[in-house]
């Protein structure tokens, strides 16, 4: 069931109070009262559950939870919960999504959810012969791997294939690495892949004559990719000061910088992850795994580069695209144990892990477009600092209704600093 933002007035969400925003989102998403309370954060994570999730628990750490609007992805409307502390992220994603919506929305796709399990083999006398032996025993290896996790098999997943990689020279001598390629369906997959690798390791030892060391999932999920793309008429990029064609060309030029220079690419990709991480986090997924996979993918050709591409097409439209690994799930881990994560998924209304990955990729692309558009026009600081003014007001000691008043005056004066905020507070 899709979520029709256009019928809710959610484009005016920022003008409401937090409780009113929550009600608007809950009404449109048709989530339960319990899920609504979980999103509000009022004891969303009981200490008893937190104590069971990690070790040495002493409390809980909260982040602001916002909702990005205007997203149309593969013809469906989405409300997208985002947990993030940085100002401008939710607003930027929502505004860019609005521009994209006027141009038909995001187009997304994904590959099968295949993860890799690695078995490191040392002290192998003949790497090539051992490699050939493992390949010849593929059916036996796959069959053994699939004796673990029958539920996954019943869902249509399981170990599909193997790969064998050789490293003739390493710091510890020649190394053979067996990869199990496992379709994990709607799970992130770490637990089942690790278990399969440990199960297969003794067989790999007997086949190769080597000794198994590490048996572990790889977070470079290069067979589990998501793609998102947009096409915009340059008129959509028109501002009060800049022609749309100029803005589009500047976005392309900014992206070209990130494509060739790793120093720029690191910041460019960090901006993309500004959009991706909050969605991964709020759905209870492993944002460190997604970060690791994204940055490894950005360096897959031997040089760190941009995760996105922006070009002007022959018809004059601006085309943007992103492709990256996306190891996320809808089952297992914090996704199942954290009430707010379950509520966030209820708002998203995604049906598969692949669909969630596509949504996340679209948010990353929107965030990238927002950053490049700002850099190409007024600079990154003006809009960011205007939204940061509330944080500055709070840091200066503003409380309750004072926050909005002081923040507005800071923006009006163009001096968004703690000293200026303290002066405004003292004047009142």
Known catalytic residues are 86, 270, 286, 384
Residue in 266, 284, 258, 179 with CA at minimum distance from that of residue 222? 179
Euclidean distance between CA atoms 281 and 335, whole angstroms: 9
Euclidean distance between CA atoms 4 and 25, whole angstroms: 11
* CB contact burial 152-172 (16+ within 10 A = b; e otherwise): beeeebbbeebbbeeeeeeee
Phi, psi of 16 (to 5 degrees): -95, 165
Instruction: Kindly tell me the number of DSSP H helices and DSSP E strands found in the chain.
Output: 17, 10
The stretches of 236-286 forming alpha helices (DSSP H) are 244-260, 262-282
Euclidean distance between CA atoms 112 and 157, whole angstroms: 10
Cβ proximity of 108 and 73 under 8 Å: yes
Pull the structure tokens for residue 393. 């007001």
Euclidean distance between CA atoms 324 and 229, whole angstroms: 12
Any idea of the CA torsion for 219, 61, 42, 71, to the nearest 10 degrees?
Answer: -40
Q: Name the residue with tokens 């003014």.
A: 389
Based on its alpha-carbon atoms, the radius of gyration of the chain, rounded to whole angstroms, reads 24
Longest dimension (CA), the chain: 81
Euclidean distance between CA atoms 266 and 276, whole angstroms: 15
Euclidean distance between CA atoms 158 and 156, whole angstroms: 7
Residue in 320, 322, 360 with CA at minimum distance from that of residue 237? 320
Q: Which long-range contacts (CB under 8 A, 24 or more apart) does 138-146 make?
A: 138/162, 140/203, 141/178, 141/180, 141/200, 141/203, 141/204, 142/180, 144/199, 144/200, 144/203, 145/180, 145/182, 145/196, 145/199, 145/200
Half-sphere exposure of 87 (CA within 13 A, CB side): 13
Q: What is the DSSP letter of 231?
A: E
Euclidean distance between CA atoms 180 and 330, whole angstroms: 22
């Amino acid at each position: 069931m899709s979520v029709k933002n256009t019928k809710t007035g959610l484009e005016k969400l920022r003008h409401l109070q937090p409780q009113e925003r929550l009600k608007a989102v809950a009404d449109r998403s048709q989530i339960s009262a319990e899920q609504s309370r979980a999103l509000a954060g009022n004891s969303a994570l009981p200490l008893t559950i937190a104590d069971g999730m990690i070790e040495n628990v002493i409390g809980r750490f909260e982040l602001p939870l916002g909702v990005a609007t205007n997203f149309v992805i593969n013809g469906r409307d989405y409300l997208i919960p985002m947990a993030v502390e940085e100002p401008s992220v939710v607003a930027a994603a929502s505004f860019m999504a609005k521009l994209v919506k006027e141009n038909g929305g995001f187009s997304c796709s994904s590959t099968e959810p295949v993860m890799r399990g690695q078995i490191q083999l040392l002290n192998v006398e003949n790497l090539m012969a051992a490699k050939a032996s493992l390949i010849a025993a593929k059916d036996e290896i796959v069959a053994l791997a699939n004796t673990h996790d029958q539920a996954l098999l019943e869902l249509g997943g399981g170990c599909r294939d193997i790969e064998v990689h050789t490293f003739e020279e390493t710091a510890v001598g020649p190394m053979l690495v067996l990869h199990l390629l496992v379709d994990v369906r709607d799970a992130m997959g770490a637990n089942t892949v690790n278990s399969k690798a440990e199960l297969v390791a003794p067989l790999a030892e007997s086949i190769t004559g080597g000794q198994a060391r590490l048996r572990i999932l790889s977070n470079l999920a290069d067979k589990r990719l998501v793609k998102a793309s947009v096409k915009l008429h340059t008129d959509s990029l028109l501002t009060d000061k800049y022609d749309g064609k100029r803005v589009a060309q500047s976005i392309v030029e900014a992206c070209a910088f990130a494509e060739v220079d790793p120093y720029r690419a690191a910041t460019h990709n960090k901006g993309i992850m500004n959009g991706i991480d909050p969605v991964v986090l709020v759905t209870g997924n492993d944002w460190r795994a997604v970060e690791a996979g994204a940055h490894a993918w950005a360096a897959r050709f031997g040089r760190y580069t941009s995760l996105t591409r922006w070009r002007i097409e022959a018809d004059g439209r601006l085309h943007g695209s992103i492709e990256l690994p996306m190891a996320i799930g809808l089952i297992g881990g914090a996704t199942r144990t954290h009430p707010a994560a379950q509520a966030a998924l209820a708002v998203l209304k995604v049906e598969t892990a692949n669909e969630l990955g596509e949504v996340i990729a679209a948010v990353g692309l929107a965030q990238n477009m927002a950053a490049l558009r700002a850099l190409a026009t007024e600079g990154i600081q003006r809009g960011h600092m205007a939204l940061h003014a509330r944080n500055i007001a709070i840091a200066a000691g503003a409380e309750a209704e004072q926050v909005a008043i002081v923040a507005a005056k800071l923006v009006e004066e163009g001096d968004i600093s703690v000293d200026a905020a303290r002066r405004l507070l003292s004047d009142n």
